[in-house]
């Protein structure tokens, strides 16, 4: 048995721990199994770049639980995007990425491939499984669901999302202190989340929970209402700029500051339309997604709110790289270990799919067929914790 690991897409606070857990599980149950990691995701698979999991690593795999990032590298590669694969130098003109990847797996004599990534990573894995099946090569591919956005159907909770929300809350604990540097300060905390507002909403929720555990001195400027969240904007709800500006203006007059948690995907259609009307170029990645890091949604909202609420100072801060690069917290690590246990079991049985908490199976940990995996799952804005939070901060949706 020869096992390969591959992490792909953006990093999340689960990749290093998931690789460590997989190495531990296989080493404990199948000590003679050979393991390799393809370097930098599908790019490494296409190029034939891999690293052998050494005996030293097998003995010390728990060290990986203390790190964020990924020990084998990531990349964003879509095997069916031939043009992009050629452009990036992963394949030569006239080659088929799926065929190149399949032939590399055959050459390396891989019997089990574990892909750790989001919907794009695992749907790409599904395409690879189908291609190999059509060419009479038996390969078991078992994916683990990774994304800080928590937006994969039908996964109830993706690996790393809890940690990312907690880290976003920790990030803003320091940023909120900036409101003491000047009068009438607007602070926008831009959080990752292209189409799904879960991470923004849960980061705000986690932040307010942490806030409730702090002691304040309201006789000075250290009052809880100044440190609180005053607005949460996510892609799933529309934003009435004028109405919100009026509400936030009153908060600014009373509290002398306004704190906004903003999902980077909130209002993105309006932003892109405005940029296109101005003749500006829009950058897209290999999967056809708008490059949000080039758009700066936080700055767009800052410009529109600052004048309306008479802000004297505006600060836009992004927690994305800080949050997604953290090591797994205890809650995520527990889920990772349980997921890996079932993933290895499924791999040995020859069952391909993605192991996750299946919303269509009472949120039980299950091996979900690749055909059922897709991205773009919206955040459910009707959840009680979210509605209660908005009610407490006076925001109406």
Which among 199, 192, 187 has a CA at the least distance from the CA of 295? Answer: 192
Q: What angle do CA 50, 143, 266 make, to 5 degrees?
A: 105
* Helix, strand, coil in percent for the chain, rounding step 5: 45, 15, 35
Q: Cα–Cα distance between 267 and 28 in angstroms, integer? A: 49
Catalytic residue flag (residue 149): yes
**Half-sphere exposure (Cβ direction) of 190: Cα atoms closer than 13 Å:** 21
Residue 87's φ and ψ, nearest 5 degrees, are -60, -40
- Which string of b and e fits 102-119 if b means at least 16 CB within 10 Å? bbbbeebebbbbbbbbbb
Q: Tokens at residue 192, please?
A: 């990752």
Which among 8, 6, 29 has a CA at the least distance from the CA of 349? Answer: 29
Which residue's entry shows tokens 């992004």?
318
- Helix, strand or coil, per DSSP, at residue 49: coil
Burial status of residue 172 (CB atoms within 10 A of its CB: 0-12, 13-18, 19 or more)? buried
Q: Cα–Cα distance between 98 and 353 in angstroms, integer? A: 18
Going from the C-alpha of 250 to that of each of 140, 244, 245, 260, 310, the distances in angstroms are 59, 10, 9, 14, 10
Which of 108, 120, 136, 149 is flagged as catalytic?
A: 149
Contact predicate 205/182, CB 8 Å:
no
Q: Cα–Cα distance between 303 and 307 in angstroms, integer? A: 7
Q: Cα–Cα distance between 137 and 179 in angstroms, integer? A: 60
Q: Cα–Cα distance between 374 and 379 in angstroms, integer? A: 14
Q: Cα–Cα distance between 58 and 16 in angstroms, integer? A: 14
End-to-end alpha-carbon separation of the chain, Å? Answer: 54
Active site residues: 149
């Amino acid at each position: 048995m020869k096992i390969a690991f591959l992490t792909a897409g953006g990093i999340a606070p689960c990749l290093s721990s998931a690789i460590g857990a997989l190495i531990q599980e296989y080493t404990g149950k199948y000590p003679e199994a050979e393991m390799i990691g393809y370097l930098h995701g599908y790019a490494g698979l296409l190029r034939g770049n891999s690293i052998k999991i050494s005996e030293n690593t097998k003995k010390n795999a728990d060290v990986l639980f203390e790190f964020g990032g990924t020990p084998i590298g990531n990349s964003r590669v879509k095997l069916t995007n031939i043009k992009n694969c050629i452009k990036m130098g992963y394949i030569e003109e006239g080659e088929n990425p799926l065929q190149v990847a399949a032939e590399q797996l055959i050459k390396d004599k891989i019997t089990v491939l574990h892909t750790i990534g989001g919907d794009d990573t695992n749907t790409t894995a599904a395409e690879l499984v189908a291609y190999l099946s059509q060419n009479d090569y038996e390969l078991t591919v078992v994916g683990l669901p990774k994304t800080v956005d928590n937006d994969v159907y039908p996964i109830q909770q993706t690996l790393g999302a809890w940690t990312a929300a907690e880290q976003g809350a920790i990030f803003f604990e320091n940023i909120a202190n900036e409101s003491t540097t000047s009068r009438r300060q607007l602070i926008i905390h831009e959080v990752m989340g292209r189409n799904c507002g879960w991470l923004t909403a849960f980061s705000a929720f986690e932040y307010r929970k942490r806030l409730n555990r702090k002691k304040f001195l309201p006789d000075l400027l250290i009052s809880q209402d100044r440190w609180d969240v005053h607005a949460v904007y996510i892609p799933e709800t529309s934003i009435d700029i004028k109405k919100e500006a009026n509400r936030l203006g009153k908060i600014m007059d009373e509290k002398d500051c306004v704190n906004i948690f903003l999902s980077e995907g909130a209002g993105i259609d309006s932003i892109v339309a405005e940029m296109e009307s101005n003749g500006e170029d829009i950058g897209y990645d290999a999967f056809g997604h708008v490059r949000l890091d080039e758009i700066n949604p936080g700055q767009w909202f800052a410009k529109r709110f600052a004048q309306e609420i008479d802000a004297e100072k505006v600060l836009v801060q992004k927690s994305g790289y800080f949050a997604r690069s953290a090591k797994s917290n205890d809650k995520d690590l527990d889920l990772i270990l349980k997921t890996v246990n079932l993933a290895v079991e499924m791999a040995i049985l020859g069952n391909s799919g993605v192991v996750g908490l299946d919303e269509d199976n009472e949120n039980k940990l299950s091996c979900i067929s690749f055909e059922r995996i897709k991205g773009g799952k919206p955040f459910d804005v009707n959840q009680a914790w979210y509605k209660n939070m908005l009610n407490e901060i006076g925001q109406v949706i």
